[in-house]
Amino acid sequence: MTILAKPVAIARAASRALDKTATTKGASAATPRVKPLEDERTVRPAAPVARRAPGGRAVIVDNLIKTYDGEAGKVRVLDGISFDIGPGEKIAVLGKNGAGKSTLVKLIGGVEQPTSGVVHRGLSMSWPLSFGGGGIANTMSGLDNTRFIARIYNRPIDETIDFVADFAELGKYLRYPVQTYSSGMRMRLAFALSMAIDFECYLIDEVLGVGDQRFQKKCRDALFGKIDNSAMILVSHHRQTILEYCTKALVLKRGRSRLFDDVEFALDLYSTL
């Protein structure tokens, strides 16, 4: 087993883990380990069964495995991920580039199918909001996109259009094809659309930092303020955002994951990865 991080950083993280053991409730920090990184691959993630919400109203991910067939052989991007999210829970997904964060989000959102394992979606889920503006057709105008989304999610079309026009503030550009939009405008539209549907669980893939200051604030207010009781899976590298809003953190490394109730500790651990 190779040690990837600096020994000093590991020691610091480990001592902090020991300090926190008394105060954290979660199963992740319950067993104090001197070297939290060394035997990481052999430790099973905390069993999610105990915290499962009644009536199946939760997003439950159980032993998720995703393998891609590439030119250079098979790549196992996710290797047995398990966790669950109850209504209103906000969870951060941390990991280096290529750790499988976006893949995880795509699997949870049902964009791709897992090689094995189960994703139970007990909450109404948004589509993954990512940089590409996924879920938006480029050749159609913003209005036609809005109509399509309203139809797909069974919402009244006129109200949805009103909301999107008001939230995205795209003005007359709403009538132009999306392919003529700038990336910021595209994100405005995508955000407005997902807000208009009012999901119970939002999947957000590193897009909170898009758009101008005012729109960013608007998004934050909408996401974390008005619909405070919606759950969220947030992929972000932005420490402040995560600390402020998330109650749990999932750290991904080489396809394995660990769930932490202590977000600050998870962020520290992540910075040593």
Partner 1 sequence: MTVATETNDRRNATARLARYGDGLRDFLSRLATQWRVIRALMIRDMMARYGRENIGFLWLIGEPVLLIGGIIILWSVMKGSVTHGVSVIAFALTGYSMLTIWRHIVSRGTNALKLSTGLLFHQNVRVLDTILAQILMESISTFLSFLFCYLLLYLFGFVELVHDPLLMVLAWVLMTLFSGGFALCLGGLVEMSKPIERMIQPVMYFMLPLTGAFYMVDWMPQRVRDFLLLFPMVHAQEMFRAGFMGPRLTYYYDGWYLFVCGIIAFWLGLAFIKHAERNLHVA
Q: Which of residues 162-191 bind partner 1 (CB under 8 A)?
A: 177
Nearer to partner 1, 24 or 115 (CB): 115
| Contact status: 213 vs partner 1 (CB under 8 A) | no
Nearer to partner 1, 147 or 237 (CB): 147
Q: Do residues 130 and 205 make contact, with C-beta atoms less than 8 angstroms apart?
A: yes
Rounded to whole angstroms, the Cα distance separating 103 from 107 reads 6
Q: How many chain residues are in contact with partner 1, going by CB under 8 A?
A: 38
Residue from the set 9, 21, 45, 153 that interacts with partner 1 by CB under 8 A:
153
| Contact status: 135 vs partner 1 (CB under 8 A) | yes
Give the interface segment with partner 1, choosing from 44-52, 134-142, 252-260, 261-269 (CB under 8 A).
134-142
Residue from the set 23, 31, 97, 154 that interacts with partner 1 by CB under 8 A:
154
Angle at 159 between CA 185 and CA 122, to 5 degrees: 85
Using DSSP's 3-state secondary structure scheme, residue 61 falls into strand
Rounded to whole angstroms, the Cα distance separating 257 from 28 reads 11
Rounded to whole angstroms, the Cα distance separating 63 from 120 reads 12
Give the interface segment with partner 1, choosing from 36-44, 53-61, 166-174, 210-218 (CB under 8 A).
53-61
| Contact status: 88 vs partner 1 (CB under 8 A) | yes
Question: Helices 157-168 and 183-197 sit at what angle, rounded to 10 degrees?
Answer: 140
Write down the H helix ranges in the chain: 7-20, 101-108, 142-152, 157-168, 183-197, 213-220, 239-245, 263-272
| Contact status: 118 vs partner 1 (CB under 8 A) | no
Rounded to whole angstroms, the Cα distance separating 63 from 43 reads 13
| Contact status: 97 vs partner 1 (CB under 8 A) | no
Residue from the set 16, 21, 33, 53 that interacts with partner 1 by CB under 8 A:
53
| Contact status: 65 vs partner 1 (CB under 8 A) | no
Angle at 240 between CA 40 and CA 41, to 5 degrees: 5
Using DSSP's 3-state secondary structure scheme, residue 193 falls into helix
Nearer to partner 1, 190 or 267 (CB): 190
Nearer to partner 1, 136 or 250 (CB): 136
Helix (H) or strand (E) holding 117: strand 116-121
Give the interface segment with partner 1, choosing from 10-18, 127-135, 210-218, 253-261 (CB under 8 A).
127-135
Q: Is 92 exposed, middle or buried (0-12, 13-18, 19+ CB in 10 A)?
A: buried
| Contact status: 110 vs partner 1 (CB under 8 A) | yes
Nearer to partner 1, 10 or 234 (CB): 234
For binding to partner 1 (CB under 8 A), which residues are involved? 53-57, 68-69, 87-88, 106, 109-113, 115, 121, 125, 127-128, 132, 134-137, 139-141, 144, 147-149, 151-154, 177, 229
